[in-house]
Structure 1
Amino acid sequence: MSDAIKLKVLPKFPAKLTGRAGIDVTKQNGEFLLDLDFADFPVIASVPAGTTYALIFDPATGKYAQLPVALFGGSGSTVYVSDTPPVGAADSSLWFESDSGRLFVRMNDGTSTQWVSAAAAAPSMKGTVAGDNAAAGDIGEYVESVTTIGSAVSMTTGTQRNITSITLSPGDWDVTAMAFHAPAATTTVTRYAAGLNVTSGVIGGNVGSYSDFYQAALASGGGTFNNVVLPNRFNITATTTIYLVGLVNFAVSTLSSYGIVRARRMR
């Protein structure tokens, strides 16, 4: 070391020096040189509680200096990892509870000492006020498909037919729909149904995935018969098409169906 501790021995001085652990003693030209030997120093896993400075060697100046341990990212705090609270931990120590993934800090409030959760309060999630849409892939993403009355699907009695559909990317979605069945003025209707399904042309039978009504033969004079399909969860891992499928039993004249499917990404 260039900043070695030098001791010049005079004739009357006992010419014997013994270095302890971490200190090497050498003699050159009648002078005893004392050097720190870091290889002799023990290695510890954490900064001891109460430690405020560490001794370092500065290569730029060739001298030793004291460095505040706070510059190492802490002030003597120790981090423990275990399933149970560590015993005898110093104030300000950190404990990572390995079975739950939670972080605690040892806090002394002047009256008592306890482990306090270091987790921050959940951030407030505010809604948009800009009238815009969530980006694709973000929670809140919205997708819809509409078949208007001008493009209504001509139905065949007792036959299931697709009214419209949407294609969703992987995610956890809530999907709802509404179907409108528009008969001619003299058409009589005894059943009208609609449902959501991943299979084209099939209403499906899961509870809540469809709406189905039976009635005595009724001519509405051209008024529509409507089905509302409550929100259904589609938790998908691949791009998937969701179909709104309709089914109407009718007679005398014609009937066509139209509707809308809406989807909102929940996760």
Structure 2
Amino acid sequence: MPSPVTTDPLLPLVDLPGVSEACAKARADVDRLLNHRVLRKQSADVSGESLIRGARASAELEDHGYQLEAVRSGSIDDPVVTGCLRVAGELGRITDIWEKAPLQAIAALHLQAAHGSLHRDDLARPVAGPEAAHRLQQLADTVRAPRSRQLPGLIVAAVVHGELLSVKPFAALNGVVARGAARVALISTGVDPKALAVPEVGHVAEKREYQHALAAYRTGTPDGVARWIVHCAQALSHGAVEGLAICEAVLRG
């Protein structure tokens, strides 16, 4: 008996207005970054700086903004900033469990993000109601679903990001968790396997659109979902340019 045909539940999103074009541009921009010559020998340096810049930008989106040099030096005694840095430092480990146990990975992200900001009883423990729990399980099932080769990994990251910001499963710092999970999805799907781009910087650069596009996504309409995915694609394109700037800085020494 032939095996049943499986369909990627996210594949229809490719046909939403503007999505395919935005994803293709982001893919080209990330490919340009991945081909930079400094990455042949110093990709770890670029990745490390990308994660620091991403953590700083993620904290700014939580209204805890600081200068990059202060964050890099470790002189900021702010639990939100240190939580963002811990999330960045754990992305590799969390990516290893993402595809098999996405809910466990999301909980691990919250543990890193919220340690020092919340009571330990609220760490890594969803506090939302049954509807939110159902949506989290749906998200986990979507992450584990068979992937179509025609689906840009960016769409997976955008849906993960949008769902976690919409469901708000934890008592606080859901945004940090959502952006960390989006990074994990970009790594896991092969969009940016070494975490070289800095999409968080793109969200900061278009902070108003980040908020408006999220509101549109929450409506669940095709146009609203499309607006969110396009915004995430544009943020990744911006983040790829930031990654190129990091490459040039590393090259100069």
| Superposition TM-score tier, normalisation by shorter sequence | under 0.3
More strand by share: 1
Q: Which has the larger radius of gyration?
A: 1
Instruction: For CA contacts below 8 A with separation 6 or more, give which structure has more relative contact order.
Output: 2
TM-score of the pair, normalised by structure 1 = 0.20
More helix by share: 2
